[in-house]
């Protein structure tokens, strides 16, 4: 009975595809997860967060915190970044939460604390994402994606501000964009305009994007009537012109042409066929020129009042949204109760959060400034235009925040975190094993921020105690 005997050479059976493990798919998913998560963060910032009164509408900030928490889990910045980056940023996030716990305004300022947590975490995620040495092949693509997000946000902001401004048919009216205030839309466009000016020196389609966005941002900065933003744009333009391209002449010619095109666009858009009569692009600025000295004196008075508030609550500050009530409680003189903002981001940090917030903020600023300045000579020598432009944009953002309340808008508070990775270049080291607690702390802080910011909005004034 050999009929049931197995053949001497059995026919090989085809493997069942459904029963075989597919490690390739898991590896691909892990490889794509950081890019997908970070691009989601960038897209949310460039659109809904910026369009919703600069992030001050309810729920928008919460979504940003959730997306950033997912990005942190995918990128794991604690594995590749130096403690010089993680410790100051971590102290900034923790300090903001401690201000809510111990300051006089307490719970009322929780949405502001969420914005600081988001900014600190976003900066670390992006630094690790664009500078991961294990992903050198993707680093340039990632920096390009970050640059496109910034330039695209600038172009979209101009469009959002131009349509209602044009519809009002009065070139002297304030150009406010989706921030609904001229100074903040002005510095938003000015910083991105500086970055776009440096982008035009590149080759390819990215340079074309710079040629489109730079003139629009320059025109929008003129239309905003914000003198501080216009001066910031001029400073950034001068730095890019002086430093871009090393000793080469052509990059500087391109920057000059892009700047001239911006002026030409602003002239075209303030006359027929858009308006019945031609008006100077700076007509709105000239109409408000008499307030320049008065605004300067007022700011000095507010800065002096801020120092008095800090002396009253040196450790915790008066709390987020507490400056107006604090000036009345301290009795600062004529400016008591007159404004909700110090008009200086660093002094606002001291008055809102005392040393808990002010010291980490100062540490982050110093570390960032030292890192950018150390790399600048090599960047100029190699002719890295985008890094030059990013450094100039970072400088104008920080300087303008020193004379206005830019950081009251989450979208603007995140801008240094978005621009810094382009200015610094690769900073991450080879991946290493890390303790469990940094990722738990980061996700817990972002989850807390999402909870705190859910009902947040345009609250400016909170009671003390």
pLDDT of residue 92: 97
Residue 339 to residue 104: CA distance in whole angstroms: 18
Asked if 416 contacts 71 with a C-beta cutoff of 8 angstroms, the reply is no
pLDDT tens track for 403-416: 999 999 999 999 99
For residue 11, what is the DSSP state?
Answer: P
pLDDT of residue 461: 56
> H-helix or E-strand containing 34?
helix 23-44
Q: Which residues contact 272 (CB under 8 A, 6 or more apart)?
A: 278
CB neighbour class for 140 (10 Å; exposed up to 12, middle 13-18, buried from 19): exposed
Helix axes 410-424, 60-75, angle to 10 degrees: 30
Average pLDDT, the chain: 88
Place of tokens 């950034």: 236
Other Cβ atoms closer than 10 A to 248: 11
In this prediction the pTM is 0.91
Residue 413 to residue 404: CA distance in whole angstroms: 12
Per-residue pLDDT tens listing for the chain (465 residues): 444 444 555 555 555 554 444 557 666 667 789 999 999 999 999 999 999 999 999 899 999 999 999 999 999 999 889 898 999 999 999 999 999 999 999 888 899 999 999 999 999 999 999 976 556 668 889 999 999 999 999 999 999 999 998 988 887 778 899 999 989 999 999 999 999 999 999 878 899 999 999 999 999 999 998 999 999 999 999 999 999 988 889 999 999 999 999 999 999 999 899 988 888 787 777 766 656 667 778 889 999 999 999 999 999 999 999 999 999 999 888 888 888 899 999 999 999 999 999 999 999 999 999 999 999 999 999 889 999 999 999 999 999 999 999 999 999 999 999 999 999 977 766 667 777 899 999 999 999 999 999 976 655 556 665
pLDDT of residue 5: 45
* Per-residue tokens: 330: 């301290």
Asked if 363 contacts 94 with a C-beta cutoff of 8 angstroms, the reply is no
Asked if 25 contacts 128 with a C-beta cutoff of 8 angstroms, the reply is no
State whether the Cα torsion 117-369-213-129 is positive or negative: negative
Other Cβ atoms closer than 10 A to 378: 11
Residue 438 to residue 78: CA distance in whole angstroms: 7
């Amino acid at each position: 009975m050999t009929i049931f005997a197995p053949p001497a050479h059995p026919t090989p059976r085809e493997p069942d595809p459904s029963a075989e493990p597919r490690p390739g798919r898991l590896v691909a998913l892990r490889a794509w997860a950081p890019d997908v998560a970070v691009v989601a963060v960038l897209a949310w910032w460039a659109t809904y967060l910026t369009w919703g009164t600069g992030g001050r509408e309810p729920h928008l900030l919460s979504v940003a915190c959730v997306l950033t928490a997912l990005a942190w889990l995918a990128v794991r910045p604690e594995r590749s970044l130096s403690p010089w980056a993680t410790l100051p940023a971590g102290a900034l996030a923790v300090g903001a939460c401690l201000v809510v716990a111990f300051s006089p305004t307490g719970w009322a300022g929780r949405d502001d604390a969420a914005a600081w947590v988001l900014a600190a975490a976003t900066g670390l995620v992006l630094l690790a994402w664009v500078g991961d040495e294990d992903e050198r092949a993707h680093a340039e693509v990632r920096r390009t994606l970050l640059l496109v997000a910034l330039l695209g946000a600038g172009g979209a902001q101009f469009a959002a501000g131009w349509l209602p401004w044009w519809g009002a048919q009065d070139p002297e009216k304030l150009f406010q964009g989706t921030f609904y205030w001229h100074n903040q839309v002005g510095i938003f466009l000015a910083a991105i305009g500086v970055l776009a000016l440096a982008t035009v020196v590149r080759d390819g389609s990215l340079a074309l994007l710079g040629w489109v966005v730079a003139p629009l941002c320059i025109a929008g900065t003129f239309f905003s009537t914000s003198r501080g933003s216009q001066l910031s744009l001029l400073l950034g333009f001068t730095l890019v012109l002086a430093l871009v391209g090393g000793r080469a002449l052509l990059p500087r010619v391109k920057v000059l042409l892009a700047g001239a095109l911006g002026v030409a666009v602003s002239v075209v858009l303030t006359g027929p066929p858009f308006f019945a009569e031609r008006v100077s692009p700076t007509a709105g600025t000239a109409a408000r020129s008499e307030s320049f000295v008065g605004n300067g004196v007022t700011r000095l008075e507010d800065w002096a009042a801020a120092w008095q508030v800090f002396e009253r609550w040196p450790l915790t500050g008066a709390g987020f949204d507490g400056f107006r009530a604090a000036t009345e409680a301290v009795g600062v003189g004529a400016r008591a109760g007159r404004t909700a903002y110090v008009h200086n981001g660093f002094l606002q940090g001291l008055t809102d959060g005392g040393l808990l917030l002010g010291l980490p903020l100062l540490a982050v600023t110093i570390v960032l400034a030292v890192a950018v300045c150390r790399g600048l000579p090599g960047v100029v020598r190699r002719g890295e235009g985008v890094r030059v432009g990013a450094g100039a944009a970072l400088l104008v953002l920080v300087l303008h925040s020193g004379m206005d309340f830019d950081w009251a808008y989450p979208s603007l508070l995140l801008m240094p975190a978005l621009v810094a990775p382009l200015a610094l270049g690769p900073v991450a080291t080879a991946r290493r094993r890390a303790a469990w607690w940094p990722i738990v702390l980061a996700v817990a802080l972002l989850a807390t921020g999402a909870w705190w910011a859910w009902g947040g909005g345009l609250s400016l004034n909170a009671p003390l105690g």
